[in-house]
Structure 1
Amino acid sequence: MTAIKPFAAVALQIAARSVERLSDRAEVSAQMLAMIDEIGVKIRASGVFIQQYGGSPLRLVVLPEYFLTSYPGRISIPDFAEKAALDMDGPEYEAMGRIAQAQNLFLAGNAYERDPNFPGIYFQTCFVIGPSGDIVLRYRRLNSMFAPTPHDVWSQYLDVYGLEGVFPVARTEIGNIAAIASEEILYPEIARAHALRGAEIFVHSSSEIGSPLATPKQIAKRARAFENIAYVVSANTAGIEGSAMPLASADGNSVVIDYKGNPLAESNTGETFTAFADLDINALRTQRRKCGMTNFLARQRLELFAPVYAGQSPQPANSLIENGELKIPDRDHFLRVQEQVIERLAKDGVI
């Protein structure tokens, strides 16, 4: 493989901005575009400081989960899709593309997005925009508690995008990038599926409780890094503006973790770029090619687990497909499905 010079990556900790109190899509879009302009300025200033500090050129920026809109709350799924979900070719992506192009970097983030193949709903989407200004990776969150996922429309989603669209890996000039959304960092199968398709860098957009104590997500980030021999660049929100929730409820602990599971840099609270570090992809690739007990990827024996996984599906596929048609859910649909899953697992003696 072609050698890749070390480069700087930053988990940019910024406040998400709720659209809950805005009246219509025009107002929402105006706020999102204004915020993207602000982010462009912050990224440029951060890159200048990182190089002055002695770092390598900034080539990868990861933004937090749903930074443009915050979470939907109790707004109905079709109403939120209409009001705030991004179009796949919308002006917000174009604006972020201009930032990536002007600053010669890869810009990763997370947004709610509507897909014309699935009208009336949205998916929570992780994206990576390349220095060309084009989207080079689009990953839809697969495990969510209160929002539609590709698995909820599984048969139709595979018809449209195939498995390549479910676990995409972008092979880029700075390494092979995959995305993990928010609490999905707690599910090792998702990271492992990406790693088995070649991922070397996990970009992780999150909005989570920050704490000086070790939270489940903080532990999981380190585990996903060393068990897959991959970097994790995890950006948390610096609070959520304009919502009913106290501002700093999801704030702090953005982090860059190396392929041995060691934090290289971690932020405190507030808006900051201080979670930045150099990524050395050549060193990662050397580690993956070494024989020894710590080469966890090479030591996988996946056939052992295939029969167990094949016989189990606690969360059912196609919960939003009824008689071959897409069903628009209410918010409580997902709780009802989970209640049925728990009842079945108890009956089968699993729990």
Structure 2
Amino acid sequence: MKNSDEKRTDPELSYKVLALQVTCHAVNQSSDRQEARLLMQGAIDRLGQQIAASLAFIGSGCRLVLLPEYFLTGFPMGEALEDWAEKACLEMAGAEYEALGAIAQKHRIFLAGNAYEVDPHFPGLYFQACFAIDPAGSIVLRYRRLNSLFAPTPHDVWDRYLEHYGLDGIFPVARTEIGNLAAVASDEILFPEVARCLAMRGAEVLLHPTSEVYGQPRSPKDAAKISRAVENMMYVVSANTAGIANSAIPIASVDGGSKIVDYRGLVLAETGAGESMAAFAEVDLAALRRYRRQPGLMNTLSRQRFDAYAESYRDSQFYPRNTMLNGSIERKHFIHTQLATIERLAQQGII
């Protein structure tokens, strides 16, 4: 992974971005690791064709393609942590990332998405990671989901994670020729602090791979996408799944609504249900940077008084950190920890 502090060279101030809405083919019913890997490779092969066709339609100005949440595997449905890690999780420099890198190289694009992956520093655990691969095929952004109800996160092994990756590794921003890229996963769009910490580090384009219900007017996630764009004065690119196949849940339960929102909260492009490349639009970095540098009422980013809130955050303990430092544990740990947190906050009169 390249150093996120590298300076931009020859920036592209205007380009097209695509939130590619594709079907996820789950690996839950695979009998073993080998069968799951074959399904993943099949998904990558399909993606290569779909990306090539989409770029031919959109044109050479498309520089960034975002794929949905866990597009290679689906999500765990009761599997033990160690079983899911073995069957469905990628290695940080594994064959799947290499194959995706080859697609990025072939089309000279930034290719971003989301996958479950293992980390040799944390045996027995896995993380859900958002990634971005540059046109050279190198991973330039790796963000591990910080808020998850049913999966390990860096916060669950906080002290050790900081030792290995530091705070900028928890809130990474990749400085590239197409702008400063950052990412959040799925319902993390509902946690404004994550996007805010990324904005503090210069993020301009927020990548949001997701797998969510679509069609309910003004759903919480839809409202949050616009809110994160406006309050941080950044683009939000959100790619949803076009359903999940090979799963016990009905295939279209999470399908549709991929969209691109600009720094003013305007929805530039949006697609309905089904596999689609209709959610593409222009990212105008020059306009974004002018907007961020103009004084006035609308420049809320420059008007932030973070020090006024710091003490309240520091003194408030809600969901505890470091609960998984001893490695793999049973999946019921997550809901038990949440229930204990709710009980404690109720006793304190907070909720």
Query: Match of 1:345?
Result: 345
Query: Match of 2:56?
Result: 48
Q: Which runs of 5+ in 1 are unaligned?
A: none
**For the residues of structure 2 that align with 1:86 and 1:165, how far apart are their CA atoms?**
19
Q: Which runs of 4+ in 1 moved over 4 A?
A: none
Match status 1:328 vs 2:328: yes
Residue 348 of structure 1: CA displacement?
1.1
Query: Match of 1:33?
Result: 41
**For the residues of structure 1 that align with 2:93 and 2:58, how far apart are their CA atoms?**
32
Query: Match of 1:75?
Result: 79
**For the residues of structure 2 that align with 1:3 and 1:270, how far apart are their CA atoms?**
34
Q: TM-score, normalised by structure 2?
A: 0.96
Match status 1:160 vs 2:153: no
What amino acid is aligned across from residue 38 of structure 2 in structure 1? A
Residue 327 of structure 1: CA displacement?
3.1
**Secondary structure, aligned partner of 1:305:** helix
Are the equivalent residues in 1 in contact too, given 2:181–2:204 (CA < 8 A)? yes
**For the residues of structure 1 that align with 2:298 and 2:13, how far apart are their CA atoms?**
24
**Secondary structure, aligned partner of 1:87:** coil
Q: Which of the residues 57, 61, 84 maps onto 1:57?
A: 61
Note the aligned Cα RMSD (angstroms).
Answer: 1.0
Cα deviation 1:107-151 (Å, max 9, x = unaligned): 010000000111111100000000010000000000000000000
Are the equivalent residues in 1 in contact too, given 2:241–2:255 (CA < 8 A)? yes
**Secondary structure, aligned partner of 2:334:** helix
Query: Match of 2:309?
Result: 305
Q: Which of the residues 270, 274, 281 maps onto 1:270?
A: 274
Query: Match of 1:208?
Result: 212
Residue 331 of structure 1: CA displacement?
1.3
Q: Which of the residues 214, 219, 231 maps onto 2:235?
A: 231
Query: Match of 1:5?
Result: 13
**For the residues of structure 1 that align with 2:34 and 2:134, how far apart are their CA atoms?**
27
Task: Please show how residues 5-24 of structure 1 align to structure 2 within 5 Å.
Answer: 5-24=13-32
**For the residues of structure 1 that align with 2:290 and 2:153, how far apart are their CA atoms?**
36
**For the residues of structure 1 that align with 2:29 and 2:11, how far apart are their CA atoms?**
49
**For the residues of structure 2 that align with 1:115 and 1:341, how far apart are their CA atoms?**
28
Residue 98 of structure 1: CA displacement?
0.3
Query: Match of 1:192?
Result: 196
Cα deviation 1:61-111 (Å, max 9, x = unaligned): 000000100011101111100111000010000000000011011001000
Are the equivalent residues in 2 in contact too, given 1:206–1:235 (CA < 8 A)? yes
**For the residues of structure 2 that align with 1:305 and 1:144, how far apart are their CA atoms?**
24
What amino acid is aligned across from residue 81 of structure 1 in structure 2? A
Q: Percent of counterpart pairs with the same letter?
A: 54
Query: Match of 1:280?
Result: 284
Are the equivalent residues in 2 in contact too, given 1:170–1:178 (CA < 8 A)? yes
What amino acid is aligned across from residue 189 of structure 2 in structure 1? I
Query: Match of 2:116?
Result: 112
Go from structure 1 to structure 2 and tell me whether the alpha carbon gap of 1:3 and 1:96 turns closer, same or farther (over 3 Å shift). closer
Aligned residue pairs, count: 343
**For the residues of structure 2 that align with 1:215 and 1:197, how far apart are their CA atoms?**
28
Cα deviation 1:38-73 (Å, max 9, x = unaligned): 10111111111112xxxx611000000001000111
**For the residues of structure 2 that align with 1:143 and 1:23, how far apart are their CA atoms?**
30
Cα deviation 1:275-328 (Å, max 9, x = unaligned): 00010011000000000111111000001101100101201010112xxxx231
What amino acid is aligned across from residue 226 of structure 1 in structure 2? V
Are the equivalent residues in 2 in contact too, given 1:3–1:282 (CA < 8 A)? no
Go from structure 1 to structure 2 and tell me whether the alpha carbon gap of 1:3 and 1:105 turns closer, same or farther (over 3 Å shift). closer
**For the residues of structure 2 that align with 1:19 and 1:107, how far apart are their CA atoms?**
22
**For the residues of structure 2 that align with 1:247 and 1:329, how far apart are their CA atoms?**
30
Cα deviation 1:152-195 (Å, max 9, x = unaligned): 00011011111111000000000000001110000100000000
**For the residues of structure 2 that align with 1:36 and 1:158, how far apart are their CA atoms?**
33
